[in-house]
Structure 1
Amino acid sequence: TVRYFPLDAGAGGTNGETTESLAWEIAPTPGNWRNLRIRLKVAPGAGTTRTFKVRKNGVDTGVAVNIVHPATYGEDLVNDFDVVAGDRLDMYLGFAGGAPVFSHIAWGLDWTPAIPGEYIHMGTSTGALDT
């Protein structure tokens, strides 16, 4: 099973999407993303691994975390990626191994603007994507 989430859904109550384009958020300004940290409320399930990947324009960025049962926390403090305004961003979640156990998920990323003084506030909508 694969799910896609908007980047701002890390603390939300969504089940994710099976179609990636429904989870896209648009980067409003250029910058650099890094330091992905993920916490599960419940471990993935016996023999199960949860794989999280940040994606840009439908392609893996290299920022990724695997959480293997019985762990509930993982981080990628090594990889990063740059964005420009208009890039489409989302989080991929895949499962491998045993039957996954439902869990609330919280995640966060650090962001540094390419333009000094810029900041971002990302959000999602179930409406049509318009760039």
Structure 2
Amino acid sequence: ATPYASWGVVFVADTDGESLILSGSDDSLHVTATECNGLASNSKGWLSIDFETYMIVLCNECTLKNLYLKLSAAPGAGTSYAFTLRQNEGSSTLTCTVANANTTANDLVNTVAISDGDTVDIMVVPSGFPSLADAYWGLVMYIEPAPVGWTGKISGVTNPAKVMGVAVANIAKVKGVA
């Protein structure tokens, strides 16, 4: 049998409710055209038209922050690639620029508040005819954790006594939830 290698990652957040979005594309960035790509898909190429094709809909209110970028090659002296998280087809404040001899950049200051149903993607704008490069990115998504001892609505009823005819008190507790 042919041996296969496999690996895994365990992410332990510093703050409850944080998770990672990691992605990238091995489709080289265009050196003159503004392009967009899906925020969380490494199987797609960059598009310079029909940006909405790669927009994804986020189904939870959340905050996106701490954008990191890595290029496979430096843009070159006097050139750059500027990356921007787009929200609902408009530019957000979460941006970073990889310039000159650098291959990485980040934005650890700005955050973007996402509402249920907002669309997001990532846009790149080249400047000064930079070198061809592939791009890889990551950012943090923060979703407010449910309160301990979860409360909420099921079928429109807040804190129901029964779920599908079973008393809530008789439903097994989930590890870590009071």
TM over 0.5: yes
TM-score normalised according to structure 2 size: 0.60
For structure 2, list consecutive stretches of 5 or more residues without a partner in the other structure.
Answer: 1-32, 148-178
Q: 2:38 touches 2:44 (CA, 8 Å); kept in 1?
A: no
Q: Which residue number corresponds to residue 125 of structure 1?
A: none
Higher relative contact order structure (alpha carbons within 8 Å, sequence separation ≥ 6)? 1
Task: Write the mapping of 1:90-101 to structure 2, written as runs, cut at 5 A.
Answer: 90-97=121-128, 99-101=129-131
Aligned to 2:105, what secondary structure does the other structure show? strand
Q: Residues of 1 paired with 2:66 and 2:51: CA distance? A: 22
Q: Which residue number corresponds to residue 113 of structure 2?
A: 82
For structure 1, list consecutive stretches of 5 or more residues without a partner in the other structure.
Answer: 118-131
Task: Write the mapping of 1:59-70 to structure 2, written as runs, cut at 5 A.
Answer: 59-70=90-101
Which is higher, the Rg of structure 1 or of structure 2?
A: 2
Q: Residues of 1 paired with 2:114 and 2:91: CA distance? A: 13
Q: Residues of 1 paired with 2:84 and 2:74: CA distance? A: 18
Q: Deviations over 1:72-108 (max 9, x none)?
A: 00000000011112101000100111x2222121110
Judged with a 3 Å threshold, the aligned counterparts in structure 2 of structure 1 residues 3 and 52 are, in CA distance, closer, same or farther, namely same
Q: Which residue number corresponds to residue 6 of structure 1?
A: 38
Q: Which residue number corresponds to residue 51 of structure 1?
A: 82
Q: Which residue number corresponds to residue 143 of structure 2?
A: 113
Q: Residues of 2 paired with 1:62 and 1:50: CA distance? A: 16
TM-score normalised according to structure 1 size: 0.80
Name the count of aligned residue pairs: 114
Aligned to 2:59, what secondary structure does the other structure show? coil
Identity of aligned residues (%): 23
Letter in 2 for 1:102: L
Q: Which residue number corresponds to residue 47 of structure 2?
A: 17
